[in-house]
Amino acid sequence: MVTSTLHRRLTRSAAALDSPQTQLTEFHRWFNDRVDADKSRIDIIEFDRLNGWHFHPDTGNLTHESGRFFTVEGLSADMPGAPVEHWEQPILHQPEIGILGILVKDFAGIPHFLMQAKMEPGNHGPLQISPTVQATRSNYTRVHRGKPVPYLEYFQHPDRHHILADTRQSEQGTWFLRKRNRNMLIEVSPDTDIPLLDGYRWLTLGQIRHLLTHDNLINMDSRSVLALLPHPPANHHGTPYQDEADHEALHTHGGDHKRRADARSRQDSVHPDPDIHSWITTQRTERTVTTQRIPLKNLPHWHQTPHRITHETGRYFNVMAVDVTTHNREIARWTQPMIEPHGPGVAAFLLAHHEGTPHVLVQARAEPGYTDTVELAPTIQYTPRNYAHLPAHHQPPHLDHLTPGSPHRTLYDTLLSEEGGRFYHADNRYLIIETALNPDHETPDHRWISLPQLQQLAHHSHYLNIETRTLLTCLQTLHQPAGG
């Protein structure tokens, strides 16, 4: 439960663009020095140079000799009503649950978040700002016989501390088969001694939000975890409180005042909560997505060369392999397969206000790798190159909001990387576009949903897809309190 005290402390953290723990200018110097000193090398290699990986002689699936990590398999998918109703594709099968966790600690009454500069072979950079712990189960159980994962104990025993959020969330359902990670925010007491290891920094929420406006700096896993943080509460005009004095006034009369504010916010939603839940349930019930795992070697229209597995049209994505050498990971060298998309993609929210309450237009999107058929996706989510050959009636709705010269106001526009541990140079252009709320924007697959409703769904598994969670985090940059 989000308390008024937590709201006040997060508001202070959001207002702090500098901190005795880390000055913003010092952070940039520190990060740039780490980038300059990074000696990581990522080479694209032939499949036969993979060490510990092999194509299974019967299925052709690309597997690790330990039986852990992940496999590259084939998938047959049927999705009636989609622009393409039947297809086969490679997909990553990684059934284990990883941990994405951020430690939170107060310094002088201001919450700070322990973040690390982490190398991932698929990143642009390749260093980006990652959660305190970002590890698959194979990694933190040390299948690779590497070094232990720092700070892991705080997330393996969360009940010893203050749990701010703990939920399982999906990842890309077009490239992963039912992939989930445990997303966690764990707060330790201010008197807990946590050694600051090399490669880590304590950052305020305000500093993180500032860094979210930089291309390819805050990684996907950080964005996913940070989406679980509450946004600043809205006043009766529907705008965030701009300073702590306003925020404190909300709580002058105690919890009753806040409960009334929360109730008013729900009343100001275009669709009541039960209607939103019923719409999602209807989508999950009536949409048909049938998938079957098949041998990788049996995929029609996909061809294997010594370097790539590619689709005959040159669209969608490739499967490729890399050789990684680094000095700042649990092991110094490894090889692995990766997905190489033909991007970049686009993920955009339309943002509008109803009775002063911010709303975004979400779509109920089916992807073959989802656990429960449909999750809520951004208004627009697509890779332009993959749609270029389709007729106009199969293009995503609302693309007119992205055209140059559109009267709609772009509030956020940043290029952000996706999962750099499995995807090679995968980027999405994330946009938030302000428009007037128009009921005609809704289709059978689209609904206006208020920001408070979206936040409530974020704390439940498998409701918001990874692109929506990213945009939910990016929305927080629009509510930056004044201060520093």
List of E strands, 188-332: 200-204, 290-294, 302-304, 309-311, 317-325
Task: Give the number of other Cβ atoms within 10 Å of residue 432's Cβ.
Answer: 22
Tokens in use for 206?
């305000």
Q: Give the Cα separation of 263 and 268 in Å (integer).
A: 9
pLDDT tens per residue across all 484 residues of the chain: 457 789 899 999 999 999 999 999 999 999 999 999 999 999 999 999 999 999 999 999 999 999 988 999 999 999 999 989 999 999 999 988 999 999 999 999 999 999 999 999 999 877 999 999 999 887 767 665 668 899 999 999 999 999 999 999 999 999 999 999 999 999 999 999 999 999 999 999 999 999 999 999 999 999 999 999 986 544 333 344 333 333 333 333 444 544 555 555 556 899 999 999 999 999 999 999 999 999 999 999 999 999 999 999 999 999 999 999 998 777 889 999 999 999 899 999 999 999 999 999 999 999 999 999 999 999 999 999 999 999 999 999 999 999 888 889 999 999 999 999 999 999 999 999 999 999 999 999 999 999 999 999 999 999 999 999 999 999 988 865 444 3
List of E strands, 367-463: 374-377, 380-382, 409-417, 427-434, 446-450
Contacts 24+ apart (CB under 8 A), 55-62: 55/296, 55/297, 58/295, 59/295, 59/296, 59/297, 60/295, 60/296, 60/297, 60/298, 61/295, 61/296, 62/296, 62/319, 62/337
**Mode of pairing for the β-strands spanning 357-366 and 446-450:** antiparallel
